[in-house]
A = this chain, B = another copy of it.
Amino acid sequence: MTGQTKPASYCTDRKWKGRADCSHCGIRRLMLFSELPEVSFAHLLKPIDNFVLVPGGILYEEGKGGEVVYSIRRGLVKLMHSKPSGEQRIVRLLGQGAVVGLELLDAGVPYQHTAMAVQPVDVCAIPVSTLRDLEAHHPELCDRIRQQLQYHVDRADHWIKTLNTGVARDRIAQLLLLLTELAPDRNGDIQLLPRDDMAAVVGMTPETASRIIADFRRRGLLAKIAPGTYRIEKQRLQRLCEANAGTE
């Protein structure tokens, strides 16, 4: 139970990096366990595994049972709901510090979304039972979990307000601004999403998303830095969204 043995769930789109060493985690201040004393990690019954996923890699699938939640150390994850018609609607984009799969804390409830990496992702898989054990001895963890859920609520509300309201152009602009918040590289540039993902985020067709992106590029609001990497004119995009009567 203690050796560095690859877990059974190992597969091609998920690369195991080892057991997580929470007490030496470089970004623990951002994470779920930020307030826990180091000694608490010494005698966990189940291991916390650390994974890397390539874009397209699946963390978990809607409707399936499971026993781990994922804490995102790096990268960008999309949460999707599938509609009766079969198509997928993206309901959230999450980056560093977010925890996904917390719905499992209600006993018997399966994952509510399909969670997929849209950029290379580094996650820790925390067993629900471990969470419950730690919670029993550290009531402050309960607050951290509550804050995580509140974060999801706030994100969802902001999503409804900014990404699902108004004309197509403004919604795409808001999406670009969101990407700048969630997943900027060291220069503040962003990786654009595939057009179908953009469409599934804001609720339009990929063609319309493509037209708007092309238009933004022609107008210099968006400049290609490298394949997939773009620099955005943040302030001009913000003005674009707020003033709908602008002369832009």
Contacts and interface: CB of A to CB of B under 8 A. Distances in A.
A20 interface: no
**Most chain B CB neighbours (cut-off 10 Å) among A81, A139, A142, A165:** A165
Contact of A85 (B92, B142, B244): B244
Nearest to A244: B85
- Copy tally for this chain in the complex stands at 2
A203 interface: yes
A77 to B, nearest CB: 15
Interface in A210-248: 241-242, 244
B147 A146 contact: no
**Most chain B CB neighbours (cut-off 10 Å) among A106, A147, A150, A160:** A160
Contacts of A157: 79, 81, 91-92, 112-113, 156
Given A85-B242, A91-B157, A139-B139, A203 B164 contact: yes
A81 to B, nearest CB: 5
Interface string A152-163: 111011011100
Contacts of A106: 147, 150
Contacts of A105: 146, 150
Given A139-B139, A154-B112, A91 B160 contact: yes
B152 A84 contact: no
A58 interface: no
A145 B149 CA distance: 10
A171 to B, nearest CB: 10
* Secondary structure dominating the interface of A: helix
A153 B149 contact: yes
A154 B244 CA distance: 32
Contact of A89 (B91, B103, B160, B244): B160
A83 B81 CA distance: 26
Q: Sorted from nearest, which 5 A-B pairs have the closest CB atoms?
A: A156-B156, A149-B149, A164-B164, A142-B142, A91-B157
Interface of A: 79, 81, 83-85, 89, 91-92, 102-103, 105-106, 112-113, 139, 142, 145-147, 149-150, 152-154, 156-157, 159-161, 164-166, 203, 241-242, 244
19 contacts: A81-B160, A84-B241, A85-B242, A85-B244, A91-B156, A92-B157, A103-B153, A105-B146, A106-B150, A113-B157, A142-B142, A145-B146, A149-B150, A153-B153, A153-B156, A156-B157, A159-B160, A160-B160, A165-B203
